[in-house]
Structure 1
């Protein structure tokens, strides 16, 4: 696919959220059944009962619809991760839960539904804005956890903070990036625990 990157939820015409939501729901079902790559905007229009031109009043391309579906999936991962670390009091425990929850949520959303997985794969390979924004928010969460750990004395302070954040994100990347996740399925049971322990040892003061 070679469509040009677009913002996460671009719209044209009237801001009718009900119609936009209807299109997204129908598109999610259609993509799940037939696959993202094989579906055209004309296919969606026929399935929903709208004209192709009417859909273009709300979304400028198929990718724009895919972006919004991708945003919804990524937001769900973030909600699950936030809930998992909310009750942890110590930074090391929060980091362990971050590894475990993010891996489990990614598996559930991107692997169990092989058709919708195509959207995630396209988003990752073509660097859609939805993916870039997600990675930036993930980095911000890691930075917040590391700063908290440094302030509490649980983590070392010699390594530049940005370097530590990027290193941890790279360690987690095979279990967060949908393109890489499909090649890491045989290690998802143990990897979050083992990698979190390894990272925590490297962060010890």
Structure 2
């Protein structure tokens, strides 16, 4: 893993960068990420916009820093599930529910932040690729254990992960979530049914769980 691009900052510089990120996130939660300007962030911290630009090359860089922070929290939660207690099928189901719950919670409770994450996914911000990789890896960890224990069919691991993560799109992809909620669909129920379908397909004998 390459060194952090900010490793050359002094402790004071790192603290200032963190303060800028914190202030921007507070404003994003109240004003929205699109309406918040670098001038707003600078004013919040009683500094000049030029000083903000010393630590971030652009407003887009601040957007990506905050999005990375949020997605890192989701990645960590996914790994807690993947490495946690329960059988592999139970952990697959739990990971489906985690991804669904986090998506729906942000949609209703943190809509301004959800809008930023939706833009990141739709516009394929660089951080999105790393996030997808982490969720894939969490699924792969569970799948490998399930295959080793004989509770999952010995299918190609990469294909299984691709199908599992892809199946989550209906309750995690912004466009599909919008459509489901507009139709009063119960996303938690969709996640449960989808998990059951996938787990049935993964059983060695193909029979229901």
Q: Shorter-normalised TM-score: what interval?
A: 0.7 to 0.9
Matched, 1:174 2:170: yes
Name which of 153, 158, 162 aligns with 1:162.
158
Distance 1:110 1:59 in 2: 28
Name which of 59, 64, 79 aligns with 2:61.
64
The question of whether the paired residues in 2 share the 8 Å contact of 1:91 and 1:148 is answered with yes
The question of whether the paired residues in 1 share the 8 Å contact of 2:136 and 2:165 is answered with yes
1:127 CA drift (Å): 0.7
Higher relative contact order (CA 8 A, sep 6+): 1
What does the per-residue CA deviation read over 1:58-105, in whole Å, with 9 as the maximum and x for residues that have no partner? 111111111121112112222333334544231111111111112112
Instruction: Note the residue ranges of structure 1 that are not aligned, 5 or more in a row.
Output: 1-8
Q: Using a 3 Å threshold, how does the CA distance of structure 1 residues 138 and 131 change in structure 2: closer, same or farther?
A: same
Aligned position for 1:197: 196
Name which of 109, 113, 118 aligns with 2:115.
118
What does the per-residue CA deviation read over 1:28-48, in whole Å, with 9 as the maximum and x for residues that have no partner? 111111111122212222232
The question of whether the paired residues in 1 share the 8 Å contact of 2:82 and 2:139 is answered with no
Q: Superposition pairs for residues 31-46 of structure 1, below 5 Å?
A: 31-46=28-43
Structure 1 range deviating more: 195-204 or 73-82: 73-82
TM-score of the superposition, structure 2-length normalised?
0.84
Distance 1:17 1:98 in 2: 34
Match of 2:109, SS? Answer: coil
The question of whether the paired residues in 1 share the 8 Å contact of 2:143 and 2:152 is answered with yes
